[in-house]
Structure 1
Amino acid sequence: MNLTHAPVVLDIAGTTLDKHDRRRLKHPLTGGVVLFARHFESRLQLTALTADIKRLRPDVLICVDNEGGRVQRFVSDGFTALPAMRTLGELWMRDAMAATDAASALGYVLAAELRACGVDFSFAPVLDLDHGGSSVIGARAFHRDPRVVALLAKSVAHGMLRAGMAHCGKHFPGHGYATADSHVAVPVDKRGLKAVLADDAQPYQWLSATLTAVMSAHVVYPKVDPRPATYSERWLKDVLRARFGYTGAVFTDDLSMEGARWLQGSLLTPSEAAMLALNAGCDLVLLCNQSLVEGGAGIDALLQHLTEGAARGLWHPDPDSELRRLSLLPQSPPLDWDALMHDAVYQRALERLP
């Protein structure tokens, strides 16, 4: 069996690699590593960690969930504390053009600082609309108007790309209307397809030629499909790919979330959820914060389950998915931290932050 596709994005235990991390990183199905605040002690330590990961697997995608506001994993030892996306939306209401410039500056600072420490990719920007009722989204959203969201997100993406980093619009087709938090419950959006397409999903259609990656929402839209969008061919293949013409990578949101794994009354294991997501049209499956649970047994089970599933034809490794994953890796060398601190583009971007 030739595993031509490395779809698993997993976490590691601590601030350095242990023997179990190293074993999992060498697995042919491992395509990415996601870092959290617990993986950060200092810039020096973070840079050493990312270098160690790359020595083991040069092609692995080192990711982090860095948006700004309350979702920023590294906020000390020189990292700039970035404002929440809502701050850019508020600036838009006063001066739209200044807001787009500030958004590009934020994207550049976010990406350049991460890349200076060896991080390849951030799951940003959020494209969810600010309907006012979602506690899990809240200030992470730019605005209620999908046109404002699309233009500010495009500006953030431009800044990230200028720093040599790809980006990820999330959570498709929209998490802002559903009030439940998918970390602990199953969010439900009772609107029909026409209503979602005319509102929350519009940024994805308008940015279909811009976005380098998209993350699916663990939200059920029962009038469209009884399955959450993460497991829905209707949403991922029919709408995102066929209708919108999107050609980039598709990530699941974290499959360790309990709310993500309820499917029509049954609780899936992360391994079962990953198989369903890959068959529905996801390219990469994200399993977070499991390396410290029972010695990482859940990660090992996922890797084994997918290996056996591929051998039995229960899912089919996709070379096109692998090409989409590889396209997210930076194509240019980053500035190191000292050089970045003296970089004119970076200094100007800091001045333009809201």
Structure 2
Amino acid sequence: MLLIGVAGHELTARERDWLQHPACAGVTLFARNFASRAQAAELSQAIREAAPRPQLVCVDQEGGRVQRFREGYTRLPALHGFEALYQRDADAALALAREHAWLMASEMRASGVDLSFAPVLDLARGNRAIGDRAFAADPQVVAAFARAYVAGMHEAGMAATLKHFPGHGSVLEDTHHDVAIDPRPLEEIRAHDLVPFVVGIAAGADAVMMAHVTYPQVAPEPAGCSRRWINGILRGDPSEGGLGFRGVVFSDDIGMAAAGAVGGTRARIDAHLDAGCDVVLVSHVEQVEDALTAIAGRPLNTMALVGLLGRGALGWDGLLADGRRAGVQARLDAVRAPELASGVLSGATHMGDAA
């Protein structure tokens, strides 16, 4: 199964043909696909109408610098801003992270998007691609935020995707541009980077996105192309050291430079699917034709994504009328502007309270 990219604000005739292909599971949207709130909703609807079966519409709407839809949407703060609040008041920070997740997911659902690939559970340890996308450097702190964020997304009716398994934060290289190799042994990775994923899975996360990082002391291939990482560790029996995950496994985008370690488009698709990924992301439009050709003859697990589809329509009128949205927006100012934290957080609700 493939999640493809499309070029612009509207579908072309060729892209409509792609969506007819039995291997096409849906589309990942980017800033290049966004012009306005109305246009985003129209494009999401057009994607669904172009295919003979349900299509998954996805996006990266993390907040901070990775927020594809901007004008007309809440300016979401980057996740790393929550760490300072956590040091002051852990309960209030976790409650606010849950509200961040609820608001992000609610706005995406109102635009017809099924899934935002979130939360990032990589550790904030200097990676060039991750940076302030990560909650914190401490695995236990990230784990606490993982539990809160998954709960907030579920509250909004959206599935949660933990990324980038087994952890992208402890290497320097950005896999968009470079090969990344993490030389640590599995025991050290378990003690640090895997901790948030264990908690996120226990919290009911629905999907996991793999990293393009290679961990040579564990497996010779990048994690997304590794049977040991996917079937042995991620999906493996907990009694044998596995995490027991039973949800959907996504590759990261195979157009990234680090994915080239296994070869061209066909080799990348084969490597990820053979290793156990359910869905391969082909976000670069120029790769889609080759990807659809490459997947010919493979058995397709079309049921794998059913649980990730949006749980019913949510329109903007209902969301705008919900007083909770405005309250959450005001409280998120505490993350964007730490000097406001004491005043804003004094009015913030804790995890189980209504807002």
Q: Equivalent residue for 2:270?
A: 275
Determine which of 308, 311, 335 is the counterpart of 1:328.
Answer: 308
Shift of 1:191: 0.2
Secondary structure of 1:245's partner? coil
Which deviates more from structure 2 when the two are superposed, residues 49-58 or residues 188-197?
A: 49-58
Shift of 1:271: 2.0
CA distance in 2, matches of 1:257, 1:226: 18
Determine which of 322, 343, 347 is the counterpart of 2:322.
Answer: 343
Q: Equivalent residue for 2:248?
A: 249
Unpaired stretches in structure 1, ≥5 consecutive residues: 1-6, 311-315
Shift of 1:323: 2.6
Does 2:45 align with 1:46?
A: no
With the length of structure 1 as denominator, give the TM-score of the two structures.
Answer: 0.89
Does 2:43 align with 1:64?
A: no
CA distance in 2, matches of 1:338, 1:208: 33
Shift of 1:17: 0.7
Query: Which AA in structure 2 matches 1:330?
Result: G
Query: Which AA in structure 2 matches 1:64?
Result: V
Shift of 1:207: 2.2
Does 2:136 align with 1:147?
A: no
With the length of structure 2 as denominator, give the TM-score of the two structures.
Answer: 0.89
Work out whether residues 278 and 285 of structure 1, in 8 Å CA contact, stay in contact via their aligned partners in 2. yes
Q: How does 1:1-354 map to 2 (within 5 A)?
A: 7-57=1-51, 59-76=54-71, 78-131=72-125, 133-209=126-202, 210-242=204-236, 243-263=242-262, 268-289=263-284, 291=285, 293=286, 298-308=287-297, 310=298, 316-317=299-300, 319=301, 322-334=302-314, 336-353=315-332, 354=335
CA distance in 2, matches of 1:252, 1:282: 6
For residues 24-61 of structure 1, give each alpha carbon's deviation from its aligned partner in whole angstroms, at most 9, with x where no partner exists: 01110000200000111111111111111111235100
Structure 1 runs of 4+ aligned residues shifted over 3 Å read: none
CA distance in 2, matches of 1:81, 1:253: 25
Q: Tell me how many residue pairs correspond in the alignment.
A: 326
Query: Which AA in structure 2 matches 1:331?
Result: R
CA distance in 2, matches of 1:345, 1:245: 36
Shift of 1:346: 2.4
Q: Equivalent residue for 2:339?
A: none
For residues 286-327 of structure 1, give each alpha carbon's deviation from its aligned partner in whole angstroms, at most 9, with x where no partner exists: 0112x2x3xxxx21111111114x2xxxxx43x4xx333111
Work out whether residues 108 and 162 of structure 1, in 8 Å CA contact, stay in contact via their aligned partners in 2. yes
Work out whether residues 270 and 287 of structure 1, in 8 Å CA contact, stay in contact via their aligned partners in 2. no
Shift of 1:113: 0.9
For residues 176-233 of structure 1, give each alpha carbon's deviation from its aligned partner in whole angstroms, at most 9, with x where no partner exists: 0111111111111000011101110111122223211100000010111110101001
Query: Which AA in structure 2 matches 1:12?
Result: V
Work out whether residues 255 and 285 of structure 1, in 8 Å CA contact, stay in contact via their aligned partners in 2. yes
Query: Which AA in structure 1 matches 2:161?
Result: C
Work out whether residues 269 and 294 of structure 2, in 8 Å CA contact, stay in contact via their aligned partners in 1. no
CA distance in 2, matches of 1:89, 1:270: 39
CA distance in 1, matches of 2:207, 2:130: 19
Shift of 1:127: 0.4
Q: Equivalent residue for 2:352?
A: none
Query: Which AA in structure 1 matches 2:290?
Result: A
C-alpha RMSD of matched pairs (Å): 1.3
Shift of 1:103: 0.5
CA distance in 1, matches of 2:38, 2:313: 18
Q: Equivalent residue for 1:4?
A: none
Query: Which AA in structure 2 matches 1:306?
Result: I
Query: Which AA in structure 2 matches 1:70?
Result: R
Work out whether residues 146 and 199 of structure 2, in 8 Å CA contact, stay in contact via their aligned partners in 1. no
Query: Which AA in structure 1 matches 2:292?
Result: L
CA distance in 2, matches of 1:349, 1:152: 17
Shift of 1:148: 1.1
